[in-house]
Chains A and B, each alone.
Chain A
Amino acid sequence: MSSFAIWRAPALSLLLFLLFVGVWHAATLPTVGQQTVDPEYAKLVGAAAATGQKTAFPAPADVAAKIWTHLEEPFYDRGPNDKGIGIQLAYSLARVLLGFLLAALAAIPIGFLIGMSPLVYRALDPFIQVLKPISPLAWMPLALFTLKDSGVSAVFVIFICSLWPMLVNTAFGVAAVRREWLNVAKTLEVGPFRKAFRVILPAAAPTIMTGMRISIGIAWLVIVAAEMLVGGTGIGYFVWNEWNNLSITNILTAILAIGLIGMALDQILARLTRLVTFPE
């Protein structure tokens, strides 16, 4: 019974998935319509277009086949407009990680400062409140103009969008460190650096990590849009390029890949958060 109970949720998930694929399959079954065009023209454009098939939306089997070809050769490079999906994802990941790490390097020390000093908090609060709700993409033209490089601008946009959750969470976590732990450090005459690294950092680590998890999620959301704008490489560019190619199968493949990578990033950060979380 108990072993059955463990499998109930996955079984239901599988059932839902099969149901979804089934409906999708049924909805995209080819319906052979009347040949509406001249046979010569039909030869030229292909049967589907000529017979006026109900939809050009790919069937699940088409997408599965496409995924398979991508999996067989994820890293091919045949010129600027034809790179494997693996290469594109690697470009996006590299931008996200670079922007995210730069943001962490800035946000965590500044967050510490804000959290420890009510004066700094009150002084910086209006700036943070104004800057935080700005869509990261709104920075793009400014970045392109000042940085004069589309790749660097994309990283900058990631930097800006990952900055705020980490900054706000770090400040909150540091400010919320329990008074009694600080009092212990005080009565033990602990120096400021030791206090910061041995008391405040471990106490605030779970909150800081939660901020990092939110940040990487947002960064992964934003990179697709940013790369659609800057172009050249990356999964966002890939999606836009395949839209121009009208290859819905490729777009669906890319959407699935974006989802899977996003989930992986979130899971990694969740693991790290669990490592620094302490039970009370």
Chain B
Amino acid sequence: MNDPLIKIEGIAKRFLARDGAETTVFEDIHFGVEQGEFVCLIGHSGCGKTTILNILAGLEPASDGYVFVGGREIRGPSLDRAVIFQSHALMPWLTVTGNIAFAVNSRWPEWDKARMRAHCQKYIDLVNLSGAEKKRPAELSGGMKQRVGIARALAIQPKMLLMDEPFSALDALTRGMLQEEALRICAETRQTVFMITHDVDEAILLADKIVLMTNGPHAKIAEIVVNTLPRDRSRHDLHRHPHYYRIRNHLIEFLVDRSRAFGQETAAGRHDPRSPPVVRPGLTEDSPASEDGMPVRPPAMPKPLVAVVK
């Protein structure tokens, strides 16, 4: 079997407290992201999700372990891995085009002005911002700013896109719209994406694989949930698919109960952090057995909808 595009092997993050005691935020994190795959990482605040993304981006060193991209260990940031920041991180002194051109110029400094402009325009059109080219970030709404952030990241045509809760600072309506756009753009560009979120519905809508993380400290990957919904999804009829509630209940049950007490599950010794169990809750009818034979908890009864876990 070929190695995945991104391979994370045993990364850990430890902090030295002032009294000399070592705090382990997470350790023994193993997973991979295949070419063209959309992977979401879900976990509670404080389990080190953003740190994992920063390590993948090369902005922070891991205390332990390795990250391979295309078979090579990463050393620092790279234009191959574009980041979409939660706070959009646009430069307020540049226009929309200026912000995107700054990134494009970093990637292809040899391009002339006309080529640069045309390239920027293509991505401005892609995120539906035509007409706002000359505006500065201060004149844009939160959703539009995040669109510029997405355009900036895509414009450098990275091997993979890293998103750190990109839609969490937006209102529900704008978030829904942007999620659909992200779905459309990813379908168009077949972009490899690694995204952090704490929104279960967002993960089900966008992801092919959902990586579940236990609570910190000593956070680990608990399971990898394969999203068995067809790739051709829309926010409007997603909930009509029979797999939807099974996956959703599985995720919520994990976030509400199992993420906290996962240590007891692993105490049995069946959990191997090097290859966390891959489960397909969408396919489980009544017999709770995952494909690789690992026992999984029975899927929760389709109880009344629990609100999105924040």
- B93: chain A residues within 8 A (beta carbon): 202-203, 205, 276, 278
Please determine whether A279 and B136 come into contact, CB atoms closer than 8 angstroms.
yes
Contact of B106 among A178, A190, A203 (CB under 8 A): A190
CA distance A266 to B59 in the complex (A): 42
- What is the size, in residues, of chain A's interface with B at 8 Å between Cβ atoms? 20
Please determine whether A183 and B59 come into contact, CB atoms closer than 8 angstroms.
yes
Please determine whether B81 and A187 come into contact, CB atoms closer than 8 angstroms.
yes
CA distance A181 to B57 in the complex (A): 14
B87: interface (CB < 8 Å):
yes
| Closest-CB distance, A278 to chain B (whole angstroms) | 4
| Closest-CB distance, B119 to chain A (whole angstroms) | 15
Please determine whether A184 and B89 come into contact, CB atoms closer than 8 angstroms.
yes
B156: interface (CB < 8 Å):
yes
With known contacts A180-B87, A181-B91, A280-B92, A187–B57 Cβ distance under 8 A:
yes
Contact of A184 among B58, B81, B91, B107 (CB under 8 A): B91
Q: Return the CB mask of B76-106 against A: 1 if under 8 Å, else 0.
A: 1111011101010101110000000011001
Please determine whether B77 and A180 come into contact, CB atoms closer than 8 angstroms.
no
With known contacts A180-B87, A183-B85, A279-B92, A188–B136 Cβ distance under 8 A:
no
Most B C-beta atoms less than 10 A away, residue of A180, A188, A189, A203: A188
Please determine whether B77 and A186 come into contact, CB atoms closer than 8 angstroms.
yes
| Closest-CB distance, A256 to chain B (whole angstroms) | 39
A199: interface (CB < 8 Å):
yes
B138: interface (CB < 8 Å):
yes
| Closest-CB distance, B155 to chain A (whole angstroms) | 11
CA distance A186 to B57 in the complex (A): 9
- B57: chain A residues within 8 A (beta carbon): 183, 187
Contact of B79 among A178, A189, A199, A205 (CB under 8 A): A189
Please determine whether A180 and B106 come into contact, CB atoms closer than 8 angstroms.
no
CA distance A187 to B138 in the complex (A): 23
Please determine whether A183 and B92 come into contact, CB atoms closer than 8 angstroms.
no
CA distance A186 to B61 in the complex (A): 14
Task: Give the residues from 126 to 143 in chain B that come closer than 8 angstroms, CB to CB, to chain A.
Answer: 136-138
Q: Which residue of A lies closest to B139 (CB)?
A: A279
Q: Which residue of B lies closest to A183 (CB)?
A: B59
Please determine whether A279 and B138 come into contact, CB atoms closer than 8 angstroms.
yes
Q: Which residue of B lies closest to A201 (CB)?
A: B93
A198: interface (CB < 8 Å):
yes
- B76: chain A residues within 8 A (beta carbon): 186
Please determine whether A188 and B102 come into contact, CB atoms closer than 8 angstroms.
yes
Q: Which residue of A lies closest to B104 (CB)?
A: A188
Q: Which residue of A lies closest to B149 (CB)?
A: A184
Q: Which residue of B lies closest to A189 (CB)?
A: B79
| Closest-CB distance, B61 to chain A (whole angstroms) | 13
CA distance A276 to B136 in the complex (A): 14
Most A C-beta atoms less than 10 A away, residue of B92, B136, B138, B156: B92
CA distance A77 to B49 in the complex (A): 76
Most B C-beta atoms less than 10 A away, residue of A183, A184, A199, A276: A184
Please determine whether A187 and B58 come into contact, CB atoms closer than 8 angstroms.
yes
With known contacts A186-B59, A187-B77, A181–B89 Cβ distance under 8 A:
yes
Please determine whether A280 and B79 come into contact, CB atoms closer than 8 angstroms.
no
Q: Return the CB mask of B39-83 against A: 1 if under 8 Å, else 0.
A: 000000000000000000111000000000000000011110111
CA distance A186 to B103 in the complex (A): 11
Please determine whether A187 and B83 come into contact, CB atoms closer than 8 angstroms.
yes
Q: Which residue of B lies closest to A199 (CB)?
A: B91
| Closest-CB distance, B58 to chain A (whole angstroms) | 7
CA distance A11 to B164 in the complex (A): 56
Q: Return the CB mask of B18-48 against A: 1 if under 8 Å, else 0.
A: 0000000000000000000000000000000
Contact of B103 among A180, A188, A194, A278 (CB under 8 A): A188
- A278: chain B residues within 8 A (beta carbon): 92-93, 136, 138
Query: Which chain A residues have a beta carbon within 8 Å of chain B's beta carbons?
Result: 178, 180-181, 183-184, 186-190, 194, 198-199, 202-203, 205, 276, 278-280
A-B contact pairs, 16 of them (CB 8 A): A178-B89, A181-B89, A184-B85, A186-B58, A187-B58, A187-B81, A188-B103, A188-B106, A189-B79, A202-B93, A276-B93, A278-B136, A279-B92, A279-B136, A280-B137, A280-B138
Give me the 3 closest cross-chain CB pairs, A-B, nearest first: A180-B89, A279-B138, A188-B106
Known: A187-B83, A280-B92. 15 other contacts (CB 8 A): A180-B87, A183-B89, A186-B58, A186-B59, A186-B77, A187-B59, A187-B77, A187-B78, A188-B79, A188-B102, A188-B107, A190-B106, A202-B93, A203-B91, A279-B92
